[in-house]
Amino acid sequence: MTPDVHTLTGAYALDALENVERGDFEQHLAECPHCTDEVAEFLETAARLALAVDEAPPERMRQRVLTVITTVRQEPPAVDPADNVIDLAAHAARRKWVTRITTAAAVVAIAVAIGVGIDAQHEHNQLQTAEGQLSQQEQQYAPVAELLAAPDVSMVTGTAATGGSGALIVSKKLNEAVFVASNMPVQPNDRTYQLWAIGTTGSPRSAGVLTANASGAVNPVLVSTLDNTATLAVTVEPAGGSKQPTTTPIMAVSLPA
Amino acid sequence: MEDAIRSIRRAPRQAVTEPSTPEELLVQVAKGDEEAFAQLYDVVSGPVFGVVRRVVRDYAQSEEVAQEVLVELWRTATRYDPARGSALSWSLTLAHRRAVDRVRSAQAATDREERVGSMSTERAFDEVAEAVATRLEREQVRRCLASLTEVQRESVMLAYYGGNTYQQVAKLLTTPLGTVKTRLRDGLIRLRDCLGVTR
């Protein structure tokens, strides 16, 4: 926990973070119990600011809402302990080796899945490279391993209009997905790829910016709360990302129903 | 038939003399209890609409957003865990988030820099302060807001009631980003302590 990240608890609780930064901070929250406690207290405090501006809604709204809800199905409750942060942390040490092995498999599986088209020679090299970089990549790919182990894991792929392809590994049960891509043309310094979670209602949520390395591979991006997300889309945005998409998506992948 | 089911459902609650807390109501709502939802609506709809109005301002749009929030509250009640916070905090966090989503997606269509730049600090802050000052119904919140330093209060109010990002607050107040982050956190710490908020 860097002191700088920690000071964002206030801005976060007041919804004063832009989407990209909010996403990053939420990832930080998952591993910072102290910040989580502070944010919870701040949210209670912010709620008091809302109570102070209490205003009676128009009378017609009550009947409308009470009628609408009779036609709206409630979300199933989260029953998987995987969304319990503390549980995950407690298991992390024990699962280290399992994760390592599954991670190696994941790296290869993804490479194959998104049609990198590796021949035997390359495969050998790639495996060695994968193993060599595993300790660095472990953190990046651990969510992938986690997902691959989910009972309802599935994968969908897409190709980009501008070249390159992507794969989305999804578990509805974990409410998570990981997006990986390869052969994406490298963007000039002032542009970046950005991933968006598009729901059945509401505006697109940024799921983070994608940085393509020289070989066109991008960092895997974890979408940790899918909720009502129906589609993941990639756009090209000004460096640093945008709050909302400003260009037409170059790739869109629909989640399995 | 449906009426019969409703009256059976209602029976045990009538035996309870104490009114249900918002937490108990929300837990009931998670089980699909429409009656509990109606009660919860009566508790939270005022603050929900109030906070959405502060941020969105436009009456018709606020009504639309508030209605979406209340339906979402029904839909996602299944994810509420009383151990993680109060039902009011859960509801109002959602309301504020959706209000902010609405104003920011509207802003994205325009040149945001220009928009922020053309708004003078005085006007932006006075609008918010005036709207809130006339509506502050809770003496304690008013007193506690008054206990913040001037710069903390400005920052917190522009962020929360104004729906601004901390970058926008920094621009409005001509203050470095790091300073605004710190003010927001310090302001909330002071407010929290003054209001005696605990989890």
pLDDT at site A246: 84
Cα(B158)–Cα(B168) distance, integer angstroms: 9
Averaged pLDDT of chain A: 76
Residues A195-223, buried b or exposed e (16+ Cβ, 10 A)? bbbbeeebbbbbbbbbebeeebbbebbbb
Per-residue pLDDT, B110: 53
Q: Are B26 and B84 within 8 A, CB to CB?
A: no
The pTM score is 0.56
Average pLDDT, chain B: 82
Over 60: is that where the pLDDT of A99 sits? no
Q: Is the pLDDT of residue A183 over 60?
A: yes
Cβ atoms of A255 and A226 closer than 8 Å: yes
Q: Chain B: nearest CA to A118, how far in angstroms?
A: 42
Chain A nearest CA to B15, separation (Å): 24
Q: Which two tokens stand for residue B1?
A: 């038939």
- In Å, how far are A126, A140, A145, A206, B130 from A244, measured between CA atoms? 36, 25, 30, 7, 31
Which residue did the predictor score with more confidence, A203 or B161? B161
| B154 or A174, higher pLDDT | B154
**Site from A24, A41, A53, A194 to mutate, B interface, most B CB atoms within 10 angstroms:** A53
Residue of B nearest to A3 (CA): B182
C-beta atoms of A40 and B100 within 8 A? no
Note whether A48 contacts B: Cβ–Cβ < 8 A.
yes
pLDDT given for residue A126 in this prediction? 54
Span A115-166, pLDDT tens digits: 444 344 455 555 555 555 555 555 555 666 677 777 777 777 788 878 888 8
What the block records as the tokens of A139 is 């953190």
β pairing state of A165-171 and A229-238:
unpaired
The widest CA-to-CA distance across chain A, in whole angstroms, is 71
* CB < 8 Å to A61, chain B: 45, 49, 63, 66-67, 70
Question: Best residue in B97, B127, B165 to probe A by mutation, most A CBs within 10 Å?
Answer: B165
Tell me the pairing of strands A205-210 and A221-223: unpaired
pLDDT greater than 90 at residue A69: yes
Give the A window 199-218 contacts with B, CB below 8 Å: 201-203
* Selected residue with higher pLDDT from B167 and A138: B167
Nearest CA in chain A to B65: A202
Cβ-based contacts of A84 with chain B (< 8 Å): none
Q: What is the pLDDT of residue A240?
A: 79
User: Of the ranges A145-154, A241-250, B88-97, which one carries the lowest mean pLDDT score?
Assistant: A145-154
Q: Would the pLDDT of B86 be above 80?
A: yes
Q: Which residue has the tokens 């974890």?
A: A222
Task: State the pLDDT confidence band at B49, using cuts at 50, 70 and 90.
Answer: very high
Taking 50 as the threshold, does the pLDDT of residue B16 lie above it?
A: no
Spatial strand order in the sheet of A154-159:
A154-159, A165-171, A176-182, A221-223
Mean pLDDT calculated for residue range A91-114: 48
Residue A51: list chain B partners with CB under 8 A: 47, 88, 92, 138, 141
pLDDT at B40 over 50: yes
More confident residue, A124 or A36: A36
pLDDT at A10: 97
Average the pLDDT over B28-33 and give the result: 96
Interchain proximity B167–A18, CB inside 8 Å: yes
Which carries the bigger pLDDT value, residue A143 or residue A168? A168
Render pLDDT for B52-67 as a digit per residue (tens, 0 to 9). Answer: 999 999 999 999 999 9
Q: Do A74 and B37 touch (CB under 8 A)?
A: no
**Interchain contact, B66 vs A10, CB within 8 Å:** no
More confident residue, B22 or A249: B22
The CA distance from A127 to the nearest CA of chain B, in Å, is 41
Of A4, A10, A75, which has the smallest distance from its Cβ to B187's Cβ? A10
- Mutate which: B51, B130, B193, vs A, most A CBs within 10 A: B51
Given pLDDT bands bounded at 50, 70 and 90, which one contains residue A90?
very low
**Which neighbouring-strand residues pair with A158?**
A166
Q: Where is average pLDDT lowest: A190-199, B3-12, B121-130, B141-150?
A: B3-12
Instruction: Please give the structure tokens belonging to residue A133.
Output: 């970089």
Least CA distance to B86: which residue of chain A? A44
Q: Give A48→chain B minimum CA distance, Å.
A: 7
- Determine the residue of chain B that is closest to A8 in CA distance: B181
